[in-house]
Amino acid sequence: MTGGRRRVVVTGMGLITPVGLDVESTWSALVAGKSGAGPVTLFDASDQLVRFACEVKGFDPELYMDRKEARRADRFLQFALAAAEQAVTQAGLETMTSDAPSDRTGVIVGSGIGGLSTLEAQHSKLLEQGPQRVSPFFIPMFIADMAAGMISMRYGSRGPNYATVSACASSAHAVGLALRSIRNGEADVMIAGGTEATVTPLCMAGFASMKALSRRNDSPETASRPFAATRDGFVVGEGAGVLVLESAEHAIGRGAPILGELAGFGQSADAYHMTAPVPGGGGAQLAMRDALKDADVEPDQVDYVNAHGTSTPANDATETAALKAVFGPGAYDLVVSSTKSMIGHTLGAAGAIEAAICLLACERGRIPPTINLDDPDPDCDLNYTPNHAIDRSVNVALSNSFGFGGHNVAIVTRRWEKE
């Protein structure tokens, strides 16, 4: 226990991503360097400036809910419920018992945008058919907090329950605040993560209009190329990541599987610009330093950084500068990678997905690559694990998440070792 605080561990993980429909399939694809990008199939994108994305493929919501419930759930909510079921099942907490009382179990799930496809469909119905034709389920299908609400209803979790909305840092905030809830004694168990389903006409058009997206329509698989000199924007992704967090004593007491430790959380704001990072990454530096301090970890103890690494010109160079500032000369000894090169930018779900990847790297001693990195930007000169996974012992990992609005979150994970 660090400084007398409760240690917080992870006992369950669930993933729905563009390269896999669970943890094992996602991990296998990532370490193999498989891209999840391809032409958009969820709608007719023929008139869009950008016609490709990292879609979740082959997802059947009826594996996780009945047909009526699936029809009344936006895709972002379907993903969240699926990932939560995977995580809760692995943790062995399908029903609240005396080992995990309902009033000591909470849910925090973030989403940057919520039910955007539902909003688009219902707005079209309003314009074409009039207000009487708008679905009575529109509001609950659309609002971002419904993922946390529905997960709590499914598992009878009556502890802290809310959504975090901080753009691409949303689910990183959810995981970090869940950590604090357990440390502060508000709960013994927290179901935390994020979900996003924004491969929609409006979202694609909006990001393309602001020139945030890669336009490599002729080569989707190579479009997401973090830290490369030829990067030209991110690739929209979708999916969900959910973790079950517990106090270490609670998990040990009920004989739960311990997958790793959630050791530190740092958050900050750039206070600079709506969409651009502050030059030098001052806000990112502050979040990383606070996370390391919170975890009682020195910079030279970090083995792996899962970078925010969006493949945009501004982010990648700024994040590199921030890493150099925080880690000093030791930055060149770090192993860094951006798994967004394979699964795209899942926006509000990214932080939780990438925290899970860090936990897996700690547990399994493998680091996924940054694919499509054949021509590094001279300003991005760290070890970004180009193109191939590497085997390396990882005791401590750091995950970065930065969002529009200047939101910054860093999370430290650690391989579990009982003191």
Per annotation, catalytic residue among 168, 358, 362, 380 = 168
Which of 243, 220, 70, 239 lies closest to 251 in space, CA to CA? 243
Catalytic annotation present for 273: no
In three-state secondary structure terms, 181 is helix
Taking the C-alpha atoms of residue 380 and residue 376, their distance in angstroms, rounded to an integer, is 7
User: Is the Cα torsion angle 130, 134, 136, 138 positive or negative in sign?
Assistant: negative
Sign for the CA dihedral angle at 144, 150, 155, 161 comes to positive
Residue among 54, 308, 362, 380 flagged as catalytic: 308
Q: CA dihedral in degrees (146, 152, 158, 163; nearest 10)?
A: -40
For the record, the structure tokens of 294 come out as 């919170």
The SS3 of residue 258 is coil
Reply yes or no on whether 388 is catalytic: no
CA 363 from centre of chain = 18
Q: How many CB atoms lie within 10 A of CB 265?
A: 24
Query: Distance (Å, rounded) from C-alpha 253 to C-alpha 251?
Result: 5
What residues pair up with 193 in beta bridges, in sequence order?
109, 242
Question: String of b and e for 273-282 (b: at least 16 CB within 10 Å)?
Answer: eeeebbeebb
B/e letters for 204-224, b = 16+ CB within 10 Å, e = fewer, are bbebbeeebbbebeeebbbbb
**Of 173, 250, 345, 407, which is the active-site residue?**
345
Active site residues: 168, 308, 345
